[in-house]
């Protein structure tokens, strides 16, 4: 039996796309380079808007056992501190990607999709005339090469997507260039039901309490030389006035992971035969914590266009997806770019801090918008 859609990558975007397709009756195969459960550097929080997507898809159970998140605490230099609740009974949830991703992939399999793990996709498989994508070429765990052909291919294989890069659909921009260093801790004190964002000149620190008493902490910096500093993460947390007292006796329980540069531009949402989803379709600095909503909704949009292509022929499905993504995400992309520009400017940070002291309600509205509260 042939494959209607091959989905490269079984993370949140790929799993959601596969689930939507399988529920609609499509024959779907997911190819994942790792094996579940697997770790992923992330803020480990799902905002209210992203949770609303999971509820709409009947996937509330994938966040069971997660820790409720009531909003964000934002601090700046000079003692600025604003507590921004999501309000209206809306909440996010904190749960590790190790747990979330495995559950989402399992939900896609339960819907009828097939999952192959430890499969390394080498690149796209092209039609004889070289114009259309007809599947992918892979390297199996046995080191044997194989081809998966399909009527539609969805690349959801992350920032370093071999499929998108082989077709010159993505590139790393010159600016902004930031790197994240993150890990899990035990023994952190002074936590609350709020996530935290501590904005400093040239960097910011994210902190999120997790189930089982662990804490996710990361430092995002534009100083590449700083990445060579031994114990950068722990040293930064123990030196910052807002985090130092609470991390003084903390113990790091995972290796520090590094991710970057935290930006990827896509010139298109695909080419004939191929659609992009998740970080493969473009990646932004995740300081607003809305990356998972982009992944969930982006996976949905790719699946919807794939179903139209299966029913009626391609008819520029990749161009329709590009327009749909812009309608869905353009305002939030502009918002995120503005915040990234602010963090990059010490003068802007100082001005924002002064404004937050005078009118904290403005920053509270920013927190609600960053959390996609209106979409919940």
Domain interval for residue 14: 3-40+98-174+262-341
Q: What is the reported pLDDT for 340? A: 66
C-alpha to C-alpha distance for 22 and 274, rounded to whole angstroms? 18
Task: Give me the number of domains the chain comprises.
Answer: 1
375 in Cβ contact with 88 (< 8 Å): no
- 50 belongs to a structural domain: no
Q: How far is CA 96 from the centre of its chain?
A: 12
Partners of 209 in the beta sheet?
Answer: 215
- 299 belongs to a structural domain: yes
- 242 belongs to a structural domain: no
pLDDT by 10-residue block (mean), the chain, 376 residues = 92 98 98 95 90 96 95 84 85 94 98 97 94 96 94 95 94 79 95 91 88 92 79 91 94 89 87 96 72 94 98 96 95 78 62 61 74 75
C-alpha to C-alpha distance for 283 and 295, rounded to whole angstroms? 10
C-alpha to C-alpha distance for 321 and 327, rounded to whole angstroms? 10
**Quick one: residue 206, left, alpha or beta (phi over 0 = left, psi -120 to 50 = alpha)?**
beta
290 in Cβ contact with 370 (< 8 Å): yes
Q: What is the reported pLDDT for 37? A: 95
- 75 belongs to a structural domain: no
Exposed/middle/buried for 241, CB within 10 Å: 0-12, 13-18, 19+?
exposed
- 321 belongs to a structural domain: yes
**CA-CA-CA-CA torsion sign (336, 184, 66, 22):** positive
- What is the end-to-end Cα distance of the chain in Å, rounded? 40
- 234 belongs to a structural domain: no
- 201 belongs to a structural domain: no
CB count, 10 Å around CB of 286?
21
Question: Which residue's structure tokens are 């819907």?
Answer: 111
- 56 belongs to a structural domain: no
Whichever domain contains 29, its CATH number is: 3.50.50.60
Question: Which residue's structure tokens are 């809306």?
Answer: 90
């Amino acid at each position: 039996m042939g494959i209607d859609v091959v989905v490269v990558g079984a993370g949140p975007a790929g799993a959601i796309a596969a689930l939507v397709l399988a529920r609609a009756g499509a024959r779907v195969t997911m190819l994942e380079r790792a094996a579940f459960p697997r770790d992923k550097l992330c803020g480990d929080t799902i905002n209210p808007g992203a949770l609303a997507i999971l509820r709409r898809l009947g996937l509330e159970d994938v966040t069971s056992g997660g820790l409720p998140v009531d909003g964000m605490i934002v601090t700046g230099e000079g003692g600025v501190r604003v507590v921004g609740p999501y309000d209206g009974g809306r909440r996010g949830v904190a749960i590790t990607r190790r747990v979330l991703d495995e559950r989402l992939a399992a939900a896609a399999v339960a819907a009828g999709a097939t999952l192959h793990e430890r499969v390394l996709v080498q690149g796209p498989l092209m039609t004889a005339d070289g114009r259309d994508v007809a599947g992918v070429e892979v390297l199996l765990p046995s080191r044997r090469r194989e081809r998966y052909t399909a009527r539609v291919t969805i690349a959801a294989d992350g920032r370093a997507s071999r499929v998108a890069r082989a077709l010159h659909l993505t590139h790393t921009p010159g600016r902004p260039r930031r790197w994240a260093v993150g890990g899990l801790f035990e023994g952190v004190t002074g936590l609350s039901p709020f996530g935290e964002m501590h904005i400093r000149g040239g960097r910011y620190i994210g902190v999120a309490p997790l189930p089982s008493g662990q804490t996710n902490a990361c430092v995002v910096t534009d100083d590449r030389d700083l990445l060579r500093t031994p114990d950068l993460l722990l040293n930064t947390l123990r030196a910052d006035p807002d985090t130092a007292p609470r991390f003084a006796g903390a113990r790091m329980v995972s290796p520090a992971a590094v991710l970057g540069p935290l930006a990827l531009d896509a010139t298109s949402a695909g080419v004939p035969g191929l659609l992009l989803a998740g970080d493969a379709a473009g990646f932004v600095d995740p300081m607003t914590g809305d990356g998972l909503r982009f992944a969930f909704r982006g996976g949905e949009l790719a699946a919807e266009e794939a179903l139209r292509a299966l029913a009626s022929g391609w008819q520029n499905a990749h161009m329709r997806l590009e327009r749909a993504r812009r309608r869905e995400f353009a305002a939030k992309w502009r918002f995120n770019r503005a915040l990234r520009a602010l963090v990059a400017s010490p003068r802007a940070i100082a001005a924002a801090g002064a404004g937050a002291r005078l009118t904290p309600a403005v920053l509270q509205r920013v927190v609600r918008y960053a959390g996609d509260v209106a979409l919940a």
